[in-house]
Chain A
């Protein structure tokens, strides 16, 4: 099974030269409780970054700021130099209109923990709905794209199944195909395997592994430590809203610098 983000025509379009994510000084509070504190992180185009940390450490919130599902209180996020949620004109930052936010969002695909497939649409319709709604493809082209993507995630025989008729692992693979349909520069995974039976985790990780080889920028929040070690170029460890450690897996897992990282890894490994 291998993944290629293809148009209906079949050309490969995932150049490794795009998908640079910069996060600078991002802070975020909910009702006085700081969930993110001055977070700085640069993700290179085509890089695979795994974000680890205990529950409630702010990893999901950080992920969600990257496509503006969550606004930030301070700091900024850019994808390929484009600010998320704002636009610079002179020395001012203007809040973007919803239409612009939506347009920029299509550069960043999201795969959710609970899949969030649209239950009243079939697998193929779930994938085709966004390219059609955004006017990128006609209905039949979008259907063809959907069938192609379903084949890539190993579900060529399920285009007309409703999500509830699929297993968790199959649903998550449809969700990944749906995120790929817009050919995003960056893909965000928010604990993609946490809602799955242990048996089904593997099939989803296989798909992500293939994506990683392809050169799309991937940012993965996960609890699958072994998977992170295998697939990630860099590991980011977050605790209580602070980025405590960033580095290649060998270094973070082999010789963690921060005592908190040591403690966390000691418990989960």
Chain B
């Protein structure tokens, strides 16, 4: 490098003045152009834009059909969308989701911790729980809980291995429809979320456990303050999957005639034969719930990304605004470079 500059200087000493604005000590080959001064023309993604337009066309066509095909029965949809029966069904759906989801995830966390504990008994009990509740179809579980009174007419405390009760309950009054649904959904949910949480905990570096132990942190601090917040990053995407699955999965409890959203919808369309509009009512409600959860998921994940990323990702609104801004700025780029500026590049040209 130095050699070329030296040669160059001795060969053309008169050009020194033109390069006087450059740092004299800097080793610069004056034959190479100053690219930094040139304007960048970004690649035109023609194929990308064509396919984008095609996809957009298909989507618009579908939306148009939604609006114009009167078999969708939008007027009927509108009358039932906020119908009191539907709202009541929604309340029950949300109640089932919140209660079963909460019980499911708390119990799931305990199961995951038991599964990772050093006690072989806790370990195998947890394993068996997960094994059993993942093996038996949810539908069967719900029917069994609902008909528990047939298997065990009375539940209570008494002398072990006998039928002598000190204190007991009629099973049918204890396990109502709602209780049967919550039992089925939350135990099933616990089994699945236990594995998700265990996976998250396993993803935390072993060194974190050692550091926490070396600082003498009590067990609950290690779990709640050190391990779970770090595991959360791995747990959250799957956990939201499960919650979204659960909110729609509650429709399965229609088999025990519990009046949640989907059951109510069925009852109404069996009466008035307007199947599609009423199914749309429940579908649109499920879409609304899922949308809310998906947005919540984004922000919760963003919260737990702190420390894990140097820069937190932009929110979708920020990202969309940024994208539009770049595309807008590129609009006034000329795709073809005019010939004039090329002469300015080389040092010899001037």
Contacts from A to B (Cβ < 8 Å): 67, 69, 98-99, 102-103, 105-106, 108-110, 112, 114, 116-122, 129-130, 133-134, 162-165, 178-179, 182
Contact = CB atoms under 8 A, between A and B. Distances in A.
Contacts of A129: 215, 217, 221, 225-226
A105 to B, nearest CB: 4
Range for the number of chain B residues in contact with chain A:
20 to 34
A46 to B, nearest CB: 21
Contact of A133 (B211, B214, B225): B225
Given A102-B218, A162-B306, A164-B310, A116 B213 contact: no
B307 interface: yes
Given A116-B208, A119-B307, A165-B310, A99 B218 contact: yes
Contacts of B214: 67, 69, 105, 108-110, 112
Interface in B298-329: 304, 306-310
Contacts, number: 75
A163 B307 contact: yes
B218 A162 contact: no
A133 B208 contact: no
Contact of A120 (B212, B217, B308): B308
Given A120-B230, A182-B215, 17 more contacts: A102-B213, A102-B217, A105-B215, A105-B216, A106-B215, A106-B216, A108-B214, A109-B214, A112-B211, A116-B207, A118-B226, A120-B308, A121-B307, A130-B216, A134-B217, A162-B307, A179-B215
Nearest to B308: A119
B237 interface: no
B149 interface: no
Contact of A112 (B210, B221, B309): B210
B219 interface: yes
Interface string B223-244: 0011001100000000000000
A117 B218 CA distance: 17
A142 to B, nearest CB: 13
B191 to A, nearest CB: 28
A120 B229 contact: yes
Nearest to A162: B307
Most chain B CB inside 10 Å of its own CB: which residue of A105, A110, A112, A133: A133
Given A118-B226, A120-B307, A120-B308, A98 B215 contact: no
A103 B218 CA distance: 9
A176 to B, nearest CB: 13
Contacts of A109: 214
A129 B225 CA distance: 9
A164 B308 contact: yes
A207 B248 CA distance: 58
A178 B214 CA distance: 11
